[in-house]
A and B are shown apart, each in its own frame.
Chain A
Amino acid sequence: MDMNGGPKIVGFLCNWCSYAGADMAGTSRMSYPANIRIIRVPCSGRVDPLLVVKSFQQGADGVLVAGCHPGDCHYSEGNYYARRRFGLLRPLLDFVGVEQERLRLEWVSSTEGKKFSQVVSSFQEELERLGPRENRG
């Protein structure tokens, strides 16, 4: 893989909190790695594990799913379902040799621009430490 541009991160951000949080990071002129490709979704509960597995197959080194903090979901409970789902997907990925650190679930509110930039930076560092993935399609 070409690590020149750094690891590829696909970020699924919920429309109501995390996407606005990323916006906040931008408008506050905070820097965060440009390796992340952001996809806006209505809710972290919208993120089908299929989207994550497909991202890995298509060459992502890491996948970030970010949503509202527990209790703050715009749809009341979507993030609780997401938490269960990805809590189980992570061991499955690990079982087939995709290190579980490559999938992250984070809570970022719309005012947490700083947290968003920290999350992406630390994720990138982690992925650089893990190195490129090999069985990409």
Chain B
Amino acid sequence: MSSVLIKNESRLGLKLVAPAVGIIGLLVIYPILFNIYLSFFDVQLNGTKTFVGMENYTDLLGNPRYFHSIGVSVIYLIGTVVGTTVLGLAAAILMNQEFRFRNLARGLILLPYFAPVISVVFGWQFIFDPVNGIYNHVVVDVLHLTDTRENLIGNPDSALFVVILFDIWKHFPIAYLLFLAKLQSVPKDLYEAAAIDGQNAWGRFWHVTLPELRFVIATVVLLRIIWNLNRFEDVYLLAPNVETLPIFTYYQAFAGIVDQGVAAAISVIQLLVLVGLIWLYVRKVLKW
């Protein structure tokens, strides 16, 4: 290609990416930097700022609520990452079998992932509603496990588990899709060879399926951690009393005694963790 063509091409390329990259730069890159700047100030909702140095950070490190929310986030992350991965894998193996109505079943199990959070949380709240909910009906009236109807979502400790279950329900389909795509490309003769070697179903899973899926499993786990570290809506809308890190940040920034500087400081720390994870993802997983 002549140099004029190359020059034209790169000029056109820059022109085409300019709007998108400009907007992303202005509204993502700049805010990230601005956030670091804000974390050294006392910031009010109306925009008033007073410089406080490292005070936001020292306050944060002396705040038991902060460490509590980290603890809640860790439990949430472990529960949801393990749950979605295991259920996603199980669902993928199941849906990879041949049976009647398979397409229908495949479509139906994607529903939770597609549905808007705001609508499905109400369904979940109704299920666990202490007065009308089916959960209390089954536990108390049918199985007689306890005598009293409990408000599982009202109590932050039990609500954490409802929130984890909800997240697994909502997000295992995406893990399932990733696993299924990979499963379909596992060569059948691998299974046949293992069968000839006398492996039963469990052995075939252990010696063929798992090693073949190793890479996808790592991808799913990493992606779940990245997305769930920032997960706000699914938790807040279902049980605002479960204080994971993003929800703690939200309360600091927009509710009660507003302290946006502290919220900025939390975000900065969280961003550092996230950047590490994303770096891992981009380097190890992504082929753009």
Chain B associates with chain A:
no
